[in-house]
Amino acid sequence: MFKTWLAHPLTKGLDIDDPRTTHLTVRQIIQEKSFLRRIYQEWYRAIVAALPPGQGAVLELGAGGGFMSDFVPHLITSELFYCP
């Protein structure tokens, strides 16, 4: 079902977990599809609410094409494969 929500011409023939999918389109798809964007926004708000108070660094493991940095100032992102 998730694959259907992410269906996009740019990802045709690529597996959802293929690094090229993330690199090419995931962020764009999330921004274009209001349903997915709302899910991510709700998830990111929940994560921010659960962060301990203070000025410590926040590291996102497996950032992919997400946009958590819009919710966490100075977020440090990482990925398991090269992703600009």
DSSP assignment, residue 62? T
CA dihedral of residues 2, 72, 42, 18 (deg, nearest 10): 0
Rounded CA separation 51/65 (Å)? 21
User: How many residues comprise the chain?
Assistant: 84
Report yes or no: 77 and 69 within 8 Å, Cβ to Cβ: yes
- With tokens 């991510």, the residue in question is 40
pTM, two decimal places: 0.66
Per-residue pLDDT tens over the stretch 8-42: 677 777 777 777 776 666 677 777 888 888 998 99
Per-residue pLDDT tens over the stretch 63-75: 877 789 899 989 9
Report yes or no: 83 and 65 within 8 Å, Cβ to Cβ: yes
What is the reported pLDDT for 25?
A: 64
